[in-house]
Every structure is written in structure tokens, then in C-alpha cells.
Amino acid sequence: MSLALYRKYRPSIFADVIGQEHVTTPLSNALSSGSTHHAYLFSGPRGCGKTSSARIMARSLNCEKGPTPNPCGQCQSCKDLVANGPGSLDVIELDAATHGLVDDARDLRDKAFFAPVQSKYKIYIIDEAHQLGPGAANALLKVVEEPPPHVIFIFATTEPEKLISTIRSRTHHYPFRLVPPGILTTHLEKICASEGAVVAKGVLPLVVRASGGSVRDALSILGQLLAGAGPDGVSYEIALQLLGFTDGALLDDAIDAIAARDGATLFKTVDRVIESGHDPRRFTSDLLERLRDLMIVDALAETNANSILRDLPDDQLERMRNQSQHIGSANLSRAADIAAEGLTQMRGATAPRLILELICGRILLPGGDTSESGLLSRIERLERAENLAPMGNAQTSAKQSPTPNVGDFKESLPKSPSKAEEIAPKKVVAEETKKTPVKASAGMDVAGLRRVWPDVIEDVKKRRRLTWSLLSASAQVLGLDDSAITIGIVNAGARDSFIRSESDVILRQAFVDVVGIDRKIEVVVDASINPNTPQARE
């Protein structure tokens, strides 16, 4: 594999750009109808096809048969501008990140008026355009304001709001987006097939998640995995070794563990953070940021949180919606306070790991906290019929499954009267919950299962809507051992419908499909899932 996958599979026509139809379709239409503009702005996160699309635009404009969305591929310009081709004298790429482009911009201003050498248009592709210095931007502005008819500008940037407005207002703006996981997975599957690569189940979802929706990142991760593959291809274990330690995966594991009140996994995750060489301060600040995002998701549960949390892929948003429901508003706010406070303590601290572990311990256990936010968290947990595990327990026991101690606490703590009726029935529910043993099974543990849970749910959705609706947002993975996968479901009613409808067969098959693990499915009632959210309510 001499050529990096991202370069090897770089598209040369708009039809091959994946996941950006909202941009490529109108651009193709403009090319077909000949209604092209003299300045374009392609914005969006890194690695989702802006620069590739700018080159395709140039190729489509300068084809002898163009402008056309289907460049002929035969003419000199098409051959020069094909992906990984030699390039054309009339398509000039400038990177504003290098040195603000002051000299280049003046040069450009002087040369732009000369006719193109051999094509219809002289096309300037200006990458990282937000980094244009003020001098360069002003020099360019003159040309962008009154361009010669043969000049076309394509600005590409991750931060369109930083591009000076006088230039921005003269462009047609096309926002690129992160690629949705389903589309990206299909794309990776095709590439694996054409590379003749064998990839174990569960690997591609890991790659897609680690990439955060960036095609370039996904292909570079996949390339690395394929390069290190053994004779049997890429195994899940190898992929996990490489990808289980990315910032995003560790953060998700930590939040999943907080949501499940799973102290063992949380402290194991901290261990992985340190072992893999991450800076505990950086991790804490990422954790704080994620808690903030979760608070936003929680507050906007009914509407689309993506209006505020831009650029989050749908699967990540869905995962965060789930996490915020499990953790609850008061707990989220308190956890954020603790993380923020810990972050301050970390400045100049000699043992940041220790502080990170203390933060985790305090987030898990509002029991010893007599502050107002601590009390609120305790009430919130009581309302969810959760027990408050003692400190030592959280660090050592394998899993804090909700146990029926509610009665002991119920009388002794304040509770909001409006919620009183809700507590009583749930006490019964909690008693049905049983301890779930957690044992790591080959290559996959509870954290691993939680990681792929959204993919499993997606798979279930394809198989049977009923099962999906019983699980989506109202269930979580509680345990995994050699004989069974244990799933917690929000209430007895949902659990009974799950069993009655033989949904366990569906779910079992989904696990086999997504991660290749075949286990009996056991369901228990898990009252820690927020019953106040509409999805969870029956």
C-alpha cells in the first residue's frame, strides 16, 4: 500500500464525493445550467472534502466540454486535474496557513489579469482562507470585487466567520458537513473490499467513531490498521488497542461509566488515560467540555441540540442524549462543578492523576457531599430509586448495579413533594433488579459493548422496529460474562414486552452481527434510566 488510502480514493467528480449531496447537487446543477459564480466559499470541518471538491469544481469548469458536472476525462485539462494528477498551470492552489500570503496575494493581484495559459478559467483555490493576513486579504479584495471574467476564486476554510466579511459577502457559500456514520461505514466497506482486506466485525464502527465523521481521518486510521494487519486481517483486539485510546473513545468510556455509576470501569478508564500517555489535565478539560455539551443536550432534549453543538455526527448526538438522560441535570451540573474545581487544583499540581481520580470519585458519589448541589444530586438519584454506594465500594467492586436500598434512605432525606408519587412505584421496580456479574470476555468488555451499543441499536432498528423502540433511549448494557449479556431496561412493563415479543433473539443476532459476540440476552429492570424523558416513559 504505497499510496495513502485518502489519496488513492480521492474523488475526481462530484458524484464520487460522499456525504455532501447538499453541496454537490446544487454545484452540479449550477455547472449544468452554466450559472456559475466568480467566487465560492467552501466551509466545514477538516477532512470532509472541501479541498477535493474545490479541485473537482476546477476540473468541471475547465473541461473542454465544460462547464459540466461530468468532466470528460479525455481532454488535457481533465487529465491534468484528475485526483493525484500533475495539476494545471491555470489552477493555482495557495495555502494561507503558510505565511499569511502577503507576497502571494500581491503577485496574484498583478497576474490575475493575464489570460489563462491553456484553459477557459484561471482558478485560484485558497486553502485555510481564514488565515489570510489583513494585507493579503485587502490585496485580494480588489480582484474579488471586480474580477476579470476569466478568474474564479474558491476559498476553503474551517472557520468561515473569520474570513473578512467584504470577501465573504462576495462569495457563494457552501457549508460542508461531517459525514454520517452509516454513509462512512458503507464507504469504508467498499474500500476494504477493493483492497481485498479482511476486517473483523466491530472494527469499522470503531474506525468511524474515532474519525468523528472526517473521511480523511477515517481513511488514515483504516490505512494504519490495514498496514498492521496479520494474516487473518484486522482483528477487533488490534483495532481496540489502537483506537480504544483515542481522546474521544476514552472520554466516551468515562461518561458511559459515570452514566452507569460504574466505578470500576471509570477508574480503569483513568488508568488507560495515563497508560496511553494522555495528559490528565487535558483529559479533565475535555471531560469538562463534554459535561457542558451534555448539559446543552439535556436542556434541548425536545429540540435539536445540533443547532448549538454544531458539527456533531448524529450517532454521537444520539449517544450523548442517552448519556445525559442517564446522568440527569442536577448530576451533570454538579459533575461539571467538580471537574472545573479539579482543573484549577491541577494547575501546578505534582500529581494530576491523583486529582483526576479524586474528581472521578466525587462525581460518582454525591453521598458525602452536603452542599446544595450535592443534595440535589442525591434527591435526583433517590427519585430514580438508586442506591448510594459507599466510597470503597465504588473503587473496588466490579459493578454497582442498582440495588434496592431505597427504602432505607427514602424517609431520611428531603424530597420534592411533586415527585413523591413517582418514588413509591419505583421502589418495587428496583427490587426486581439483580446483581449483574461483570467479567471481561475475550477482547471485549463492558466498556467495549457500551461503545458499540449505538451501532447495535441501529442494527436492531433494521431488524424490528418494536425491539428498537423498546431499547432506544430506555436501555443500557449492564454486564457481560461468558454466558450472557445483561441489559437494563427502564421499567418492568418495557422489560415484559421485550420478553413477550422475543426481542432477545433480535438483540442477540444484532450483537453477533455488529461485534461477533454470541451470548444469551438477559434483561433486568434498571430504574437509573431517567423516567422523566418522553422516550423512556411508557
Closer by beta carbon to Zn ion, 58 or else 78:
78
Rule CB under 5 A: is residue 71 a binding residue for Zn ion? yes
- Give me the phi and psi of 477, to 5 degrees please: -80, 125
Please give the single-letter amino acid code of residue 40. Answer: Y
Query: Quick one: which of 79, 71, 60 has its CA closest to 123?
Result: 60
The residues near 473 (Cβ < 8 Å, ≥ 6 apart) are 321, 322, 325, 533, 535, 536
Q: Which stretch binds Zn ion (CB under 5 A): 55-63, 232-240, 328-336, 425-433?
A: 55-63
Minimal distance, residue 62 CB to Zn ion, in Å: 8
Q: Give the total of residues touching Zn ion (CB under 5 A).
A: 5
Between 63 and 101, CB nearer to Zn ion: 63
What is the distance between the alpha carbons of residues 438 and 488, in angstroms, rounded to a whole number?
A: 13
Among 5, 48, 58, 78, binds Zn ion (CB under 5 A): 78
User: In whole angstroms, how close is the CB of 79 to Zn ion at the nearest point?
Assistant: 8
Paired sense of beta strands 484-489 and 475-480, if any: antiparallel
**Which residue number, 75 or 466, has a Cβ lying nearer to Zn ion?**
75
Q: Report in angstroms how near the CB of residue 494 gets to Zn ion at its nearest.
A: 59
Which one of residues 68, 70, 75, 172 is an interface residue with Zn ion (CB under 5 A)?
75
Residue placing its CB nearer to Zn ion in the complex, 91 or 203 = 91
Residues in the chain: 538
- Give me 228's grid cell: 498492521
Residue 148 CB, nearest approach to Zn ion (Å): 23
Stretch of 60-68, 114-122, 208-216, 275-283 lying at the interface with Zn ion (CB under 5 A): 60-68
> Where do we find the cell 482562507?
129
Residue whose entry in the numeric block shows the C-alpha cell 440527569: 328
- Write the CB contacts of 408 (distance below 8 Å, at least 6 apart in sequence): none
Rounded distance, CA 531 to CA 533, Å? 6
Contact between 13 and Zn ion (CB under 5 A)?
no
CB-side exposure of 335: number of CA atoms within 13 Å? 28
Residues in 388-417 at the binding interface with Zn ion, rule: CB under 5 A: none
Residue type for position 225 = L
CB of 157 to Zn ion, least distance (A): 28
- Residue number with CB closer to Zn ion (13 or 30): 13
Tell me the closest approach of the beta carbon of residue 67 to Zn ion, in angstroms.
11
Q: Which of 1, 15, 72, 354 binds Zn ion (CB under 5 A)?
A: 72
72-80, 135-143, 398-406, 410-418 -> range binding Zn ion (CB under 5 A): 72-80
Evaluated on CA atoms 300, 302, 306, 307, the torsion sign reads negative
Backbone angles phi, psi at 391, to 5 degrees: -50, -55
Q: In the complex with Zn ion, which residue's Cβ is closer, 78 or 446?
A: 78
Residue from 63, 264, 266, 429 binding Zn ion (CB under 5 A): 63
Computed on alpha carbons and rounded to an integer, the radius of gyration of the chain in Å comes to: 27
Chain residues in the site for Zn ion (CB under 5 A): 63, 71-72, 75, 78
